[in-house]
Structure 1
Amino acid sequence: MNIFRIAADMSHLLAIIILLLKIWKSRSCSGISARSQILFAVVFTARYLDLFTSYISFYNTAMKITFLVATYATIYLMFFKFRSTYMRESDTFRVELLLIPSVLLAVLINHDFTPF
């Protein structure tokens, strides 16, 4: 652990909290890309699979769980709680432009062929 890791984690956590508060207080998710939030969920889920196999520290585990819960909470708010305010036609983020190269790079450049 170093000060840069803690500062990065706290900045990221603050950004997620601000996003959730914005959605909750305005009762709207307009202007937020659901596609990018789904990509965040995919990344965090894949990246934090080691939660079930290895323990590093309480801080590490708590931050991983917090990021996962907050990301899925954002998706829940967007697709269920405030669904009527989500502007699907404005969400033009092209997921495939990131997903396809990422999957190809993950297959080609990896430490070993395991899901963890």
Structure 2
Amino acid sequence: MMKVVFIVSSLAIVWFMRLHPVIKRSYDKELDTFRYYLLVLGSFVLALLIHEKFTVQEVFWAFSIYLEAVAILPQLFLLQRSGNVDNLAAQYVFFLGAYRAFYIFNWIYRYFTEPYFTRWIACVSGLVQTALYADFFYYYFISPMMPFLLAVDTDDFRWSCIGSSFP
């Protein structure tokens, strides 16, 4: 049941991003220049090279884990290029990162409670994904207006709060 909820909510997010008139108006195609196909191709090649067992199911599982680890990069790249992060986008990115960060606790728990916990690919990929959020988390938490509006200094790619500056 939870997998169905996950898939439906993911499709709803994609629908809002691509087709909803209000959200679509705020999308700037000229700023969205990230070559996402390189992430897909790189994840697939990595899955062919590094997997737990060379079966179709395991290779595709590894591919999905690797792709999930880097899937946030186009969003972070677009936020940096646009120079502004509105409240909705900031909260969305924050909760995506928090989900992955809290998932690390699941691995720690499973390591100590399951005698043969061996999903090291998921653990390493999850740590990489959480590290990709680290810069965003840092500026999200030190921002005095944290739950409101954030901006990006595109000259040195640092997050900052609108109306404030960080050292």
TM-score under structure 2 length normalisation: 0.38
2:133 is aligned, of 71, 76, 92, to 71
Q: How many residues end up aligned between the 2 structures?
A: 85
2:63 and 2:125 map into 1 onto residues whose CA distance is: 13
- Matched with 2:161 is 83
Deviation track 1:56-88 (CA, whole Å, cap 9, x = no partner) reads: 354333211112222343333556423229xxx
Q: Does 1:34 align with 2:112?
A: no
Is the CA contact (8 Å cut-off) linking 1:29 and 1:82 kept in structure 2? no
- Matched with 2:121 is 59
- Matched with 1:19 is 75
In proportion to residue count, which structure has more helix? 1
1:56 and 1:67 map into 2 onto residues whose CA distance is: 19
- Matched with 1:89 is none
Matched AA of 2:126 = K
1:11 and 1:43 map into 2 onto residues whose CA distance is: 16
Identical positions, percent: 9
- Matched with 1:49 is 105
In structure 2, relative to structure 1, the CA distance for the partners of 1:44 and 1:67 (3 Å cut) is: same
Matched AA of 1:74 = F
Task: Give the aligned CA root-mean-square deviation in angstroms.
Answer: 3.1
TM-score under structure 1 length normalisation: 0.50
Q: Which has the higher Rg, Structure 1 or Structure 2?
A: 2
1:77 and 1:25 map into 2 onto residues whose CA distance is: 16
Between stretches 6-15 and 63-72, larger displacement belongs to: 6-15
Unaligned runs of 5+ in 1: 86-116
2:90 and 2:126 map into 1 onto residues whose CA distance is: 21
1:4 is aligned, of 36, 60, 74, to 60
Higher relative contact order (CA 8 A, sep 6+): 1
2:87 and 2:71 map into 1 onto residues whose CA distance is: 16
In proportion to residue count, which structure has more strand? 2
